[in-house]
Amino acid sequence: MTIQREFMTQIFKTKDQWESGLSYRLNFEKDEGITLFSVLTFTKWIGEPDDKMYLFCWNKIPGKDETLLKEFLMYNFSIDWIATAEIQKINENTIKLFIDNKYVLLHLINEKTKVDLFISDNRKHELIAKEEKGRVNIFAKMNPAAVALDECGLVYVLDSTSCKFYCYDVLSGKRIGTSCIGGCGKDIGKFYDPKKIIFDTYTLWVLDMGNKRLQGFSRENYQIKYVIDKFIGDNNIPEYIKNPVDFIMDKKGNIYILDLRGYKNSKILKYDNHGIQIKLPQSCFKELNEPLSLTVGKENILYILDKKCKNGEDKGFKACILKFSDEGKYLGYIDLAIPVDNESNQYQDFVPSIITIDKNGIFFIADAEFIYQFAPDGSFIGTVQIPGLKDEITGIAVDNKNNLYVSCNKGIASFSMQSRFTKEKGYFYSRTLDNGKEKSQWHGLSLEGNIPPKAVIEVYYYSVNDLNLKESIDKIISDPEKSIINKRISIENIINNKWIGPEILSISEKSGKKPNTLNDEILYLEQKTRLDMLFRENTGRYLWVKIALSTVDENLSPSIDQMKVFYPRKSYLGYLPAIYQENPIGQDDPVSKDFLERFLSIFETVFYDLETRIYDIYKYFDPDTVDSKLFLNWLASWLNIAIEDKWDENIKRTFIHDAYTLYKQKGTLAGIEKLIEIYTGKKPLIREPSRIGKPMILNDKGTFRLGINSLLLKTPVRGFRLGEDSILGRAALIDGDIFEVSGNPYSISHWFTVVLDLSLKDNTFDENMLKRILDREKPAHTMYNLIFTGDMKGGSEVYVGMNTMMPDQEHFILGDNSIIGSGILMMGGEHAGKVELHSKVEKDAELT
């Protein structure tokens, strides 16, 4: 009996199939499927809560610390007149600096624990006071201007108050010693309003924004190496950098500086890691409008955060990411928008300032108070909040584990990319599904994946027979110029709230019982992940499915590995009498029919699974289709094949596939060659001395007699083989290695050597495993040597084509690389020359 499946299906399983649709706020898993994105979780503050920097001693004003106080006010509050100001200590708790009608007042209060600072332009600030050994020392709370991580995972902080570096150990969170580098000022090696730091292998780079330059320091001794403050302009005229606001370094060591010069006048300047400018064409970066920050991702793609993108669409958001190659070629843009809620197309105000990217292509963009996480396509993932943030974010950095570090006035906050998932809904829009017939209806949908109890899946669908509508949606999905956000908005506008649904799919709590046997495991895997639904409404030829994923528990995320859409419309209702297929007499309400159809679909799902298993049973006996984890070893046991657990899956499948041929050749040279080639990927050379030549036996009956027609040399000379049964310059026709092992010259008929062009250091195979294969497959009465030519050095045996190469020789071509009469003259002997140039006839040349 042949079982025929009644349904046809359209399947979404592989990454290419999922990517044929539209994913918004969804991540593609490594084992092919869609799930929600992970979000950052706050872990701790780096550094001590009372981190502070010494400024001056209250007791030494006026006096020795006047200069320290004035420098602090000059570089932290941009008070240019303070250098010539007079200083007076009005009383024990008040200091005044003034010139004309401008002044700065410092009041020591709260039992000498705090200093209130007032400036005549209505600015206020607070300093820390501490009484130590009879003196009152004044400190400023650390104000991180930038954060960076070196290759060892140490966190470096650049303080804007002292213009110095501070280093912290991530594990302990404590400050460790740093070299004396920096300080506030305009001199080379000092900073004024520093904004960013980056490490490369040999250099520490600092963006000195106040002094309009980029400085590079040696990481060995922190001596100044480079100062970048000018560039060659468009007319080859040197110009100074006017307003550097950010810089980044790509994987090649090239530096990109963002020089902000107003609307549409900003420049991206490129330098190598020695500070030498790399000039780009004038047309590069012309798409910039109001750039704010930049970062670099995979393949050295440059991402520039722009406050006001001009992309031709006005959807209530303007910020975007512009993409450029490392040569300045424009690659498109990514829209950025933060939805007000999941259901509407309204977006909240968003004024970004800083951007960075992790190794997975996730963007982290900061504004004054929050950090927003965006997917590589620009879809919004979630908001990262900093506990107790009092002031604006000044810097963000990502380590090689995708942990995030944020600098602000409160300190350095660290975030970890743990197994927490966004509570924002993720959406998947299928491509247009076509069943091929105008009046054919769609039947239902099945989802398989890891769907925890606290996860919710909402399914919407929409179906029509309108070809024009189908072409419009296809054009939107395939449009390379549209961003993901705009594509989603366009699809929603076309369908215009005509989605049927949502159909809520979820599962109840599981008992948690672990499977004990292979059959239990198979049933457990299949039962825990299968969700089905019927399409209730009448459907047309073209169908679109929208799936919304969400989770109540941040620690659990639903993932869908496979989606099947079934057609044409068939149900077990058709097997019942006609009265059950009709509505109640005199009623238009189809509730009865709909309920019965859905009730029968429960049994239909069970029976369909059974029918499908029976129909697909051939897959369990095919090494190319059988499940690798559950049935591959089981299939091998049917054929009595001893396969190793450590073998690669493809090797196992090949062994099983070729089992019939290998059994026929078991113990033969061809069979052993094939086995080794399957396992190692290299065809071996197998030498059999008994097939190479016949042994020379010295006795009184043989052909060879010692002293008459044979001669023993004291030191036999190894030579090379001529043909198959003779050796030039050698007295014995026996492999020395074999004789040394066996001691019996007649044993060569039971010995063979396997030569393999691999090294023992090669991690693609295991030598002991290879020997087990040989021991299992060789004839029982034989022995072997195993030689790896990849490990041979000078003086070892040479095998042409394995551990040697013959270089290609240039052919002698008349008319191309030689000319008769002026080139090389070829003759029958060894003479050659150039006629009329350096040869004389009958002396050193000969004409033939």
Q: How many angstroms separate the CA atoms of 159 and 142, rounded?
A: 6
Q: How many angstroms separate the CA atoms of 141 and 44, rounded?
A: 19
| End-to-end C-alpha distance for the chain, whole angstroms | 87
- Residue 459 backbone phi and psi in degrees, to 5: -115, 125
Looking at residue 24, the DSSP 8-state letter turns out to be E
Instruction: State yes or no: pLDDT of 61 exceeds 70.
Output: yes
- When the pLDDT of each residue in the chain is averaged and rounded to a whole number, the result is 79
Query: Closest by alpha carbon to 733, among 708, 770, 704?
Result: 704
SS3 per-residue string spanning 739-761: HHHHCCHHHHHHEEEEEECCCCC
Q: Looking at 132-141, 327-336, 532-541, which range is the least confident one?
A: 532-541
Position of tokens 């019982």?
513
SS3 per-residue string spanning 401-464: CCCEEEEECCEEEEEECCCCECCCCEEEECCCEECCCCCCCCCEEEEEEECCCCEEEEEEEEEE
Q: Looking at 2-16, 344-358, 544-558, 582-596, which range is the least confident one?
A: 582-596
Q: Name the band, by pLDDT with cuts 50, 70 and 90, for residue 836.
A: very low
Q: What angle do CA 128, 134, 136 make, to 5 degrees?
A: 20
Whether 423 and 551 have beta carbons less than 8 Å apart is answered as yes
Query: Closest by alpha carbon to 650, among 632, 676, 672?
Result: 632
Instruction: State yes or no: pLDDT of 517 exceeds 50.
Output: yes
Two structure tokens written together for 806: 């013959």
Q: Name the band, by pLDDT with cuts 50, 70 and 90, for residue 55.
A: confident
Q: Looking at 49-53, 407-411, 609-613, 703-707, which range is the least confident one?
A: 703-707
Two structure tokens written together for 743: 């001691």
Average pLDDT on 5-31 reads 83
Instruction: State yes or no: pLDDT of 528 exceeds 90.
Output: no
Two structure tokens written together for 57: 């001693």
Q: What is the dihedral of CA 767, 768, 774, 780, to 10 degrees?
A: 150
Average pLDDT on 172-193 reads 80
Average pLDDT on 275-300 reads 90
Q: How many angstroms separate the CA atoms of 476 and 21, rounded?
A: 11
Give the residue, 33 or 610, on which the prediction is more confident: 33
Q: What is the dihedral of CA 584, 587, 592, 597, to 10 degrees?
A: 90
Which pLDDT value is given to residue 354?
A: 94
Which pLDDT value is given to residue 524?
A: 45
Average pLDDT on 319-343 reads 87
Residues 207-266 have pLDDT tens digits of: 999 999 999 999 888 899 999 999 998 788 899 999 999 999 999 999 999 998 877 788
Q: How many angstroms separate the CA atoms of 653 and 678, rounded?
A: 10
In this prediction the pTM is 0.66
Q: How many angstroms separate the CA atoms of 492 and 767, rounded?
A: 60
Instruction: State yes or no: pLDDT of 728 exceeds 60.
Output: no
DSSP codes joined into one string, 655-680:
HHHTHHHHHHTTTSHHHHHHHHHHHH
Q: Name the band, by pLDDT with cuts 50, 70 and 90, for residue 341.
A: confident
Query: Closest by alpha carbon to 420, among 354, 373, 376?
Result: 373
Instruction: State yes or no: pLDDT of 672 exceeds 80.
Output: yes
Query: Closest by alpha carbon to 296, among 245, 216, 356?
Result: 356
Which pLDDT value is given to residue 727?
A: 43
Looking at residue 841, the DSSP 8-state letter turns out to be B
At a CB cut-off of 8 Å and minimum separation 6, what does 36 contact?
25, 26, 27, 421, 422, 424, 426, 549, 550, 551, 557, 558
Which pLDDT value is given to residue 703?
A: 60
Q: How many angstroms separate the CA atoms of 23 and 375, rounded?
A: 10
At a CB cut-off of 8 Å and minimum separation 6, what does 434 contact?
470, 541, 542, 543
Give the residue, 537 or 528, on which the prediction is more confident: 537
- Residue 5 backbone phi and psi in degrees, to 5: -80, 135
Q: How many angstroms separate the CA atoms of 302 and 295, rounded?
A: 6
Q: How many angstroms separate the CA atoms of 129 and 214, rounded?
A: 34
Q: Name the band, by pLDDT with cuts 50, 70 and 90, for residue 302.
A: very high
Instruction: State yes or no: pLDDT of 743 exceeds 80.
Output: no
- In this structure, the strands spanning 751-756 and 783-788 are parallel
Half-sphere exposure of 54 (CA within 13 A, CB side): 8
Which pLDDT value is given to residue 241?
A: 94
CA–CA distances in Å: residue 273 to residues 220, 225, 286: 16, 11, 25
Which pLDDT value is given to residue 344?
A: 66
Q: Which of 292-301, 404-413, 782-791 has the highest mean pLDDT?
A: 292-301
Which pLDDT value is given to residue 829?
A: 47
Q: Which of 376-390, 487-501, 558-572, 693-707 has the highest mean pLDDT?
A: 487-501
Query: Closest by alpha carbon to 696, among 678, 682, 677, 716?
Result: 716
Q: Which helix (H) or strand (E) holds 609?
A: helix 591-615
